[in-house]
Homo-oligomer: A and B are copies of this chain.
Amino acid sequence: MTSKNQSTLAVSTVIFALRPDEASGLMTLWLPLVRRIREPHLGQWALPGGWLPGDEELAAAASRTLRETTGLAPKYLEQLYTFGDLGRSPGNRVVSVVYWALVQSDEAALAAVGENVQWFPADRLPELAFDHNRIVDYALWRLRTKVEYSRIAHAFLGETFTLAQLRDVHEAVLQKPLDPANFRRTVEASGTVVDTGQHLAGARHRPPRLYRYNDSSRLADQGPLGPSIG
């Protein structure tokens, strides 16, 4: 077991959701963490995950462990990186295949929260177990530098959405305001969304159009690797 030629394989997931900041009211990124219930790092917060069974696909294992620990089912799931530094865990060396996931805001609200599962704002995290702070930093960087935002934004939203909602998502991820006029033109030109013809009434202003994500436009993303949706 603790032989020189063995490493243990684990799967972890960084899960992002978008919800309003309690103080400012602005949409910000949050993520759920689980409290360690055994050594090492007992009591500290960590990313949800678990050991990889020999008969389960990597993405399926990521999906399952995060469902078991947090009750969440991701709309978007993609491999992030594999961390395997010798010193990242005391004792036997652990190689972790890490995924990153996005969940819808309303689903995130329903997620199990308790003594051992809690949401934290992505840029104000406590000190996490193992090298998990580093992992979250990298996941945040990937989220923000990802060119293909339409799919990401779609993962945060429902089936239909207004351009203002879509813009909110982009602004929250990029952490800067976007010009509504220019944003509209950019999105329309990209062809990643389709006008449903419907409008959203109720607000005390002109009813905005509802759009739907254009499924036929999701190529040229991961390249030859098909996009994995857990």
Using a CB–CB distance below 8 Å, which chain A residues touch chain B?
A: 3-7, 9, 51-58, 79, 81-82, 84-86, 92-93, 95, 97, 134, 137-138, 141-142, 145, 223-225
- Pick the residue among B86, B92, B137 that contacts A224 (CB under 8 A): B137
Instruction: Please determine whether A93 and B223 come into contact, CB atoms closer than 8 angstroms.
Output: no
Instruction: Please determine whether B95 and A58 come into contact, CB atoms closer than 8 angstroms.
Output: yes
Can you pick out 26 interface pairs between chain A and chain B where the beta carbons lie within 8 Å of each other?
A4-B53, A4-B55, A5-B51, A5-B53, A5-B54, A6-B54, A7-B54, A9-B9, A54-B92, A54-B93, A55-B86, A55-B93, A56-B86, A57-B85, A57-B86, A58-B85, A58-B95, A79-B81, A79-B82, A81-B225, A82-B82, A134-B224, A134-B225, A137-B224, A141-B223, A141-B224
Q: Please give the distance in Å from A98's CB to the nearest CB on chain B.
A: 9
Instruction: Please determine whether A84 and B55 come into contact, CB atoms closer than 8 angstroms.
Output: no
Residue of B with least CB distance to A9: B7
**Copies, count:** 2
- Pick the residue among B54, B142, B223 that contacts A223 (CB under 8 A): B142
